[in-house]
A and B are shown apart, each in its own frame.
Chain A
């Protein structure tokens, strides 16, 4: 079972703050890295799927970067809003099975 680590486990920020969190993973046999947002009482929603080293993806105020050589991805939220409050999951697909392994998530709470 692959070891996908997310940090921090939880984060409290004020509205308007920018924030970022990390997903670390084994760099060998990399295939794809996924980010999901999971709001309370809703289904997890796909944010990004990244496959190439150096990939940068953006969706509104949220962006992500990928470094497959060193085994990490950053998720950035610019100007956090209360509606950004959610758990952010990353998941790694590696060659072999392609089925992603999920990290434990980072819980973000944005205070008005």
Chain B
């Protein structure tokens, strides 16, 4: 079955460490996205990529980095520069210029800084 796989489901990180969240899709979608959810807030866009080897900052990109070396993969690195990294992270994909089609989401990674 086609879909998006995020791993791990739960992740614990010590302060000052970088950590990478995995996102893989086998839907042949061109576009991929990373969102962050905090309690009481809507999903906020961190980064997105509409084509391999290209990505754009979203609304809250500070303290995060991404790469898009393969169409199927869009890993997100939470760096030590991210001041408040504890959150739920969702990855999504869509046909490029997705305004006319919906997203497919992964099941998310919950990151906790200890």
Contact = CB atoms under 8 A, between A and B. Distances in A.
Given A1-B59, A102-B43, A49 B105 contact: no
12 contacts: A32-B100, A34-B102, A36-B103, A43-B104, A43-B105, A46-B103, A46-B104, A48-B102, A49-B100, A91-B43, A102-B35, A104-B41
B106 interface: yes
Contacts of B41: 104
Interface string A79-96: 000000000010101000
Interface of A: 1, 4, 31-32, 34, 36, 42-46, 48-49, 51, 89, 91, 93, 98-105
Of the four ranges (under 10, 10 to 19, 20 to 34, 35 or more), the interface on chain B belongs to 20 to 34
A56 B83 CA distance: 43
